[in-house]
Amino acid sequence: MKTKAARIYGVNDIRVEEFELPPIKDDEILAKIVSDSICMSSHKLALQGNAHKRVRSDLAKNPVIIGHEFCGELVEIGGRWKDQFRPGDRFAIQPALFYPDETGKPSLWSPGYSYEYIGGDATYIIIPKEVMEMGCLLEYTADNFYSGSLSEPISCIVGAYHAQYHTVSGSYVHNMGIVEGGAMALLAGAGPMGLGAIDYALHNPRRPGLLVVTDIDDARLNRAASIFSPAEAAGQGVRLEYVNTKNTADPVSFLRELNGGRLFDDVFVFAPVKPVVEQGDALLGKDGCLNFFAGPTDTAFAALFNFYAVHYESHHLVGTSGGNTNDMRESLAMMAEKKLNPVSLITHVGGLDAVPETTVNLDKIPGGKKLIYTHKKLPLTAIADFPEKGKSDPFYRALGSLTEGNNGLWCKEAEDYLLANAPEI
């Protein structure tokens, strides 16, 4: 079978090509990709090429399919897996396989970085045995594909919440998770991943009593409030406050006043900015946990942390980089049950032909997640631009009407229309 895929050959050298897939082996599975969400990690791969830690051979000689946030349908099942999977099953993949290498140690090899025939930016792929052996081929039962593509980034949020911990004086046991009914702050939290964190805070079983979300951009805060309103949060037993700290003389004092003068149990930092990290430290109360969620690109990034409070107030710091397979299973299950809806992360859609330029320039394109429909030929387009493009293009006019009917967000109806009407790649 032929596939079309975006493959990387070196630094910023990504090409959409058609090539032949070999017949699957008894321990492999042939699959159709429908959607892939482009991650900043793929942008880092484009910048680094062979220097990236997950690349295992010379890309110029052995190009790999990029993309690791993908969703689709199984097509042909190798004999070894016929009792576990069926053609037509929808799936997502946990890309962090940690499959043992030849020495028996967990490797860094991953779909989207390390394999010739599996990656998210393709029409068809071959899933190798290690994905199934590590339990990383995951059943997906929701009624759309975009949520499956976003299950990996959402699992990063789920994992971060699970990484939080608190203690009891005199005990060395770590009680994992946020303080239920406690005070929680998401600093610089109105961006795409912050929106996902709000969603999870409101709809997972372990919720804060007070959730404060800060940012320095009114437009982002207003958008967040239109998606996750304080009234909706109150219905979940959470008092939700949005705060622009840009012109606040003393943000820490202001946020403490929102909590009745008290400090916070859980603080998440969503921007690798020194003053924001230090603000988070200053907000921590007794046994408070600060989660540094932001991923800095500066290897020397540092900020001050109050070690007097570490010693006498039991302050602690955690950081996570990705979620594990159980985190991803949880995100998939909550999406299928409609407890989580990650559409607020999506700001652009496009086709497979848009992948090279989008991946290379991802850091320069504003907004949130860029969702790719791999069987389609479409320029990357912001959802906010649909109405303007629709003035001269009936395709975007229809998409704009569907998204405007969903508070300006992507939705199943828009996805169905795109899959039925967008040109094939």
Question: 322-353, pLDDT tens digit by residue?
Answer: 889 999 999 999 999 999 999 999 999 999 99
Cα 106 from Cα 412, distance rounded (Å): 38
- 145: three-class secondary structure by DSSP: coil
Query: In the chain, what percentage of residues exceed pLDDT 90?
Result: 93
Burial of 86 (0-12, 13-18, 19+ CB in 10 A): exposed
Beta-strand (E) ranges in 78-203?
A: 90-93, 124-127, 137-139, 165-166, 175-176, 183-187
What's the rounded Cα separation, in Å, for the pair 350 and 16?
Answer: 14
pLDDT tens digit string along 248-280? 999 999 999 999 999 999 999 999 999 999 999
Identify the CA nearest to 403 among candidates 365, 346, 354, 339: 346
Q: Residue 211: exposed, middle, or buried by beta-carbon count in 10 A (0-12, 13-18, 19+)?
A: buried
CA Rg value for the chain: 22
3-state helix, strand, coil in the chain (%, to 5): 35, 25, 40
Closest of 151, 145, 141 to residue 340, by C-alpha: 151
Under DSSP, the state recorded for 122 is B
**Spatial contact of 87 and 75, defined as CB atoms under 8 Å apart:** yes
Can you tell me the mean pLDDT for 224-244?
97
Cα 342 off chain centre by: 9
Q: Which residues contact 119 (CB under 8 A, 6 or more apart)?
A: 5, 6, 7, 64, 65, 66, 67, 68, 70, 111, 112, 125
Cα–Cα dist 221/225, whole Å:
6
Give which of 149, 141, 144 is closest to 412, Cα–Cα: 144
Extract the tokens encoding 164: 């939080």
Beta bridge partners of 186: 213, 268
Contact 325, 135 (CB under 8 A): yes
pTM of the model: 0.92
Alpha helices in 56-170 (DSSP H): 129-133, 146-163
pLDDT score for 356? 98
Q: Where are the domains of the chain?
A: 1-165+322-425, 168-313
Of the chain, the end-to-end C-alpha distance in Å amounts to 16
**CATH class, 1-165+322-425 region:** alpha beta
Check whether 297 has a pLDDT greater than 90: no
pLDDT tens by residue, 397-424: 999 999 999 999 999 999 999 999 999 9
Specify the pLDDT at position 298: 86
- Tally of residues, the chain: 425
pLDDT digits (tens, 9 = 90+) for 237-251: 999 999 999 989 999
CA angle 66, 348, 345 (to 5 degrees): 90
Burial call 114-138: b when 16+ CB within 10 Å, e when fewer: bbbbbbbbbbbbbbbbbbbebebbb
Q: What is the pLDDT of residues 177-196, one digit of tens each?
A: 999 999 999 999 999 899 99
Of 351, 348, 332, 354, the C-alpha closest to 408 is 348
What would the two tokens of residue 213 be? 């979300």
Residue pair 219/366 in contact (Cβ under 8 Å)? The answer is no
pLDDT > 80? residue 101: yes
| Cβ atoms of 290 and 317 closer than 8 Å | yes
Distance CA 69, CA 155 (A): 11
Task: Kindly state the greatest CA–CA separation across the chain.
Answer: 69
Would you say the C-alpha torsion 225, 228, 233, 239 has a positive or negative sign?
A: negative
pLDDT tens, position by position, 143-168:
999 999 999 999 999 999 999 999 99
* Protein fold of 168-313: Rossmann fold (3.40.50)
